[in-house]
């Protein structure tokens, strides 16, 4: 079955320390020594209706669904039972902290092998869904061949949120972010990240910059030099793979108080 391994460094940088510059100040770091302490474990039924049973921390640790060592954090799915009656045991965790802006960089040492039924996801959402929005940074189901980066908004609260394809290099799936606007309910506005890190056994790095003017997402096979040096400068990263901007979306109304989520679903 699919497994997800996250490397040590998931960092959160606050607003620029000097107005008008792109210098970010490190505010928080998720690493093996504190990683699972910074998350709550979801134990309710799967909202996506998957063939899955999300486990509390003690069970997840005892059954090897989560592990840590000096360098890595591991999240996986139970893969020994032939057909568990209550769904396959897995983990869904969401950060205790909420965020409204910043630069977020996550270094993965491994991504799940794309396979039938598997649905790994790394995403953010607000406390009242869909009013407070959702951003899916890494997500795909079955074997799509690429990562889907998607935003979900609610026009009744935020007004129109429309992607402008000239601002990013991902392949557009839908431009309207409203959950009710497309062929399928809650499809949102998304791109196929055809140059992304989908299913890479060696992992990759994802970065999201969130300001009052935009939300942008990039990814690379390894850390860019500025990130590795602890001095990330998004202005040097080129065109993002995904972007939604204040030119066609009220960012402040559409996305609020969002938490990070890691989970692996099955057949949702």
Q: Rounded to 5 degrees, what are φ and ψ at 21? A: -110, 175
CB 123 within 8 A of CB 134: yes
Name the residues annotated as catalytic.
134, 139
Q: What residues contact 73, with CB distance under 8 A and at least 6 apart?
A: 5, 6, 7, 8, 32, 35, 36, 66, 67
3-state SS, residue 35: coil
Cα–Cα distances in Å, from 194 out to 75, 145, 147, 197?
25, 8, 7, 9
The tokens for 131 are 């009013």
């Amino acid at each position: 079955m699919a497994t997800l391994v996250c490397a040590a460094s998931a960092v959160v940088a606050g607003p620029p320390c000097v107005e008008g510059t792109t210098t970010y100040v490190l505010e928080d770091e998720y690493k093996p020594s504190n990683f699972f302490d910074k998350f709550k474990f979801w134990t309710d039924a799967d909202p996506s209706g998957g063939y899955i049973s999300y486990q509390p921390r003690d069970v997840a640790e005892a059954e090897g669904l989560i592990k840590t060592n000096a360098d890595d954090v591991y999240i996986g799915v139970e893969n020994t039972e032939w057909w568990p009656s209550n769904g396959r045991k897995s983990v869904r965790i969401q950060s205790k902290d909420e965020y409204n802006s910043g630069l977020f960089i996550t270094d993965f040492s491994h991504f799940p092998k794309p396979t039938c039924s598997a649905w790994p996801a790394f995403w953010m959402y607000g406390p009242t869904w869909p009013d407070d929005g959702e951003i899916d940074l890494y997500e795909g189901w079955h074997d799509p061949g690429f990562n889907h980066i998607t935003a979900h908004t609610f026009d009744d609260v935020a007004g129109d949120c429309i992607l402008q394809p000239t601002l990013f290099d991902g392949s557009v799936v839908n431009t309207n972010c409203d959950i009710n606007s497309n062929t399928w309910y809650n499809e949102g506005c998304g791109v196929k990240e055809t140059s992304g890190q989908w299913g890479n056994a060696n992992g990759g790095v994802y970065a999201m910059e969130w300001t009052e003017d935009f939300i942008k997402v990039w990814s690379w096979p390894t850390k860019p030099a500025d990130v590795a040096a602890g001095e990330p400068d998004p202005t040097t990263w080129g065109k993002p793979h995904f972007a939604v901007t204040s030119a066609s979306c009220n960012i402040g109304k559409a996305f609020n108080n969002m938490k990070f989520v890691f989970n692996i679903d099955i057949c949702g």
